[in-house]
Structure 1
């Protein structure tokens, strides 16, 4: 009985994502519960600075946030930068192979101390030791395969520095949700980037991100129709045909 209850509970939990948008648009993720918001509300601690001289407050070369010469690139926990995703990959692989083999064997024993003649007297009609074994075999194999794939994706998303590693590498993470009618489009990106790879316009290309994890998908009524039901997915895994 417990097994049936466990299976029923798993089905209910798996279907909660679809139940969320029955008769209404999909719910958006609360922005205040994301790691990006936590990083922005809890920035890293800065070392205390000594008292500034009065004339330094009027200088254009100060390092304040509103300074005209301050580096605007993201460099600390809680800073925001733009990730540019422009994927245009194409791969074509073509393989072919041919193999052939033939073999022929023939064994005969017309005379061997008179033994073949004695044996032939007891053999069925038409059988003779003069052509004891005659075998011929041949095989051939031909195979070919071709893979053609192209991926193209152009996106821009704002990401937040959620951590700064001891070696200075920045750990970024960003998410974006766009709801159109009853369909939600979700974009997430995360990875590690060096501060020097961030451009002057505070942008970084996806190919500069180490360990990049980019996800672009959605949820909603259209996605539910396109996805097979859980029972069908389980049957595809279990059934051998």
Structure 2
């Protein structure tokens, strides 16, 4: 008898461990840019040293190389609504009464045929969603594409008591959309991936348990 009990306990413990299934990050896993160290400057007395990472003196310090930083300003306001309604009615009837019957079958005239039926359908539905996200996040240029667009990614972690909040962002930025203060609106970023998730006991309290999910999938109602 001990073997079945041990097996049941093992299954329960395994299922309990799978109650919090890890989900892949929407913005992708962190990527680190390796910036090579510049060679030692040559002692030739010149001011212009292209070998040590030349940047024009009077240019705007906008990101244009891997490893540069960029500030993303979140101003996401998305709303959508949908409604539908349909109805249909159908009625029909049939009647049959014999006016003349053969001799000896007069009583059958008292019996007629009358059939009637009706069918009606009415349905309606609607959905509405609204999302708002504001704030700022500094990201890193991971790659400069052949058309000079920038592939960026960044994240911020905030720990409050025993919970951690993660803010992640990734996308493609056109350098022409970058403002003079080295910032770009999130609405001007292509293929944007914005993720705001939490980790801790508060997040676990908002997650349905494994047994409840199992019963929900097996329930016919």
- Give 1:207's aligned residue: 187
Q: How does 1:168-183 map to 2 (within 5 A)?
A: 168-183=148-163
TM-score (norm 1): 0.67
- Give 1:42's aligned residue: 35
Contact 1:173 1:191 in 2 (8 A): yes
Distance 1:83-1:177 versus aligned 2 partners, 3 A rule = same
Give 1 or 2: higher helix fraction. Answer: 1
Structure 1 residue runs of 5 or longer lacking an equivalent are 18-32, 47-51, 58-62
Once residues 143 and 12 of structure 1 are traced to their aligned partners in structure 2, the CA distance between those partners, rounded to angstroms, is: 43
Q: CA RMSD in A?
A: 3.5
TM-score (norm 2): 0.73
C-alpha displacement of 1:146: 2.6
Once residues 122 and 106 of structure 1 are traced to their aligned partners in structure 2, the CA distance between those partners, rounded to angstroms, is: 18
Question: How many residue pairs are counted as aligned between the two chains?
Answer: 201
Once residues 200 and 153 of structure 1 are traced to their aligned partners in structure 2, the CA distance between those partners, rounded to angstroms, is: 23
Deviations 1:2-51 (A, max 9, x none): x997996675466598xxxxxxxxxxxxxxx931xx21x336x99xxxxx
- Give 2:59's aligned residue: 70
C-alpha displacement of 1:53: 9.1
Deviations 1:84-117 (A, max 9, x none): 1112222233322222221222344545xxxx52
Contact 1:64 1:70 in 2 (8 A): no
Once residues 34 and 179 of structure 1 are traced to their aligned partners in structure 2, the CA distance between those partners, rounded to angstroms, is: 18
Contact 2:173 2:188 in 1 (8 A): yes
- Give 2:80's aligned residue: 91
- Give 2:25's aligned residue: none
